[in-house]
Structure 1
Amino acid sequence: MTEAAASLPLPDQALVEEATKKSGLIWVRGTGPARALWHVWHEGAAHVVGDGPDEQPLPGLTAGSTAEVTVRSKDKGGRLVVWTAVVSELAPGSEVWDAAVRELKGKRLNAPDGEAMTERWARECRVLRLEPCRASTEHPDGSLAAPPLPTSATTRRPIPAALPRLLLRRGKRR
């Protein structure tokens, strides 16, 4: 544990760790809008990988900056805790990078290159450590709902003409 995490009061530290470990996604806001990121909790911090081909974007997250991390409840979806993180980039091939990547590799779903993804991460991606330094369980007034961010992964096309007939026919068979 580093100095930043040690500065959190013990109850806040425990809440941040448990909530973040159990959440599949965290919402991270650097200098731009908040983004949902998959992560792993390892050695007192959340770790994310991205900014490479076939990986999640990490805009606004730079080494030495801070980011706001919002953690939601896995069962109800409501916000549990918001914490401020110190962002650091791990150097590929270092001990801490290797340890974080071992954890990340186990959580990465549908990697296009399977076992070779760690070499690709070392060449083309960034692995960031988000270490908590301040936490808050206070909830702001009003909704924080926002329209989804634009992405090339969105495919909005008209439904096929035959789909309604197929769905209606399937319901009549019962």
Structure 2
Amino acid sequence: MTSELLGRALVEEATKKSGLIWVQGPTGPARALWHVWHEGAALLVGDGPDEQPLPGLTDGGTARVTVRSKDKGGRLVAWTARVAELTPGTEAWQTATGELKGKRLNAVDAEHLLDRWAVDCRVLRLEPRDALTDHPEGSLAAVPLPTPAITRGPAQPAVPRLMFGRRSRARRGDR
């Protein structure tokens, strides 16, 4: 009983403090997803335009969640979750989206965000079932998933001077 309570406490604390969790559905690779911990579960929003993908996560299904350390990046705990999709307009959906909206960074349409989520996205609740604190043998490294995101080109020649504060002689007083 005590180890179960400690496992639940570890899951809650680690997941609350981590900005990203790695979630893997029954099929496919694990993905890094932003989330909010609220009332004993991780809340996710995605599968819509300008939102994170949630492949393989279905209502009533299970998912494996891995939580990393915020400071060192190493694995702290892994847990199995029951996936519940929240229905738009319900009280649970309103509460969840209120929490998610507060943590959604860089939203293009912050004023109409909840309306867009209700029409185009899915809101999921990942409820912990058990915690695994044992660490696996060997590396869990994987090849990065394909993405349409790109790295911008090289910085313009003047940018480093502006960023690193090369001052002109006139401002330094070296005349």
State the TM-score, normalized to the length of structure 1. Answer: 0.86
* 2:1 equivalent to 1:27: no
Counterpart-to-counterpart distance in 2, 1:74 and 1:57: 22
Matching of residues 6-85 of structure 1 within 5 Å: 9-30=4-25, 31-85=27-81
SS in 2 for 1:9: helix
SS in 1 for 2:116: helix
How far 1:120 sits from its partner (Å)?
0.3
CA deviation string 1:72-93 (max 9, x = no partner): 1111111100000000100000
Which runs of 5 or more structure 2 residues have no equivalent in the other structure? Answer: 168-175
Amino acid in structure 2 at the alignment position of 1:29 = Q
How far 1:134 sits from its partner (Å)?
1.1
Which runs of 5 or more structure 1 residues have no equivalent in the other structure? Answer: 1-7
* 2:125 equivalent to 1:138: no
How far 1:153 sits from its partner (Å)?
1.5
Amino acid in structure 2 at the alignment position of 1:96 = A
How far 1:10 sits from its partner (Å)?
1.1
How far 1:154 sits from its partner (Å)?
2.4
SS in 1 for 2:126: strand
Aligned residue for 2:144?
148
- Percent identity among equivalent residues? 70
Amino acid in structure 2 at the alignment position of 1:52 = G
> Does the C-alpha gap of structure 1 residues 154 and 10 become closer, same or farther in structure 2, counting only changes over 3 Å?
same
State the TM-score, normalized to the length of structure 2. Answer: 0.86
How far 1:167 sits from its partner (Å)?
4.8
SS in 1 for 2:81: strand
Aligned residue for 1:106?
102
Structure 1: which 4+ aligned runs deviate by more than 6 Å? none
How far 1:29 sits from its partner (Å)?
0.5
CA deviation string 1:37-62 (max 9, x = no partner): 00001111000000000000001111
Bigger Rg, structure 1 or 2? 2
How far 1:147 sits from its partner (Å)?
2.1
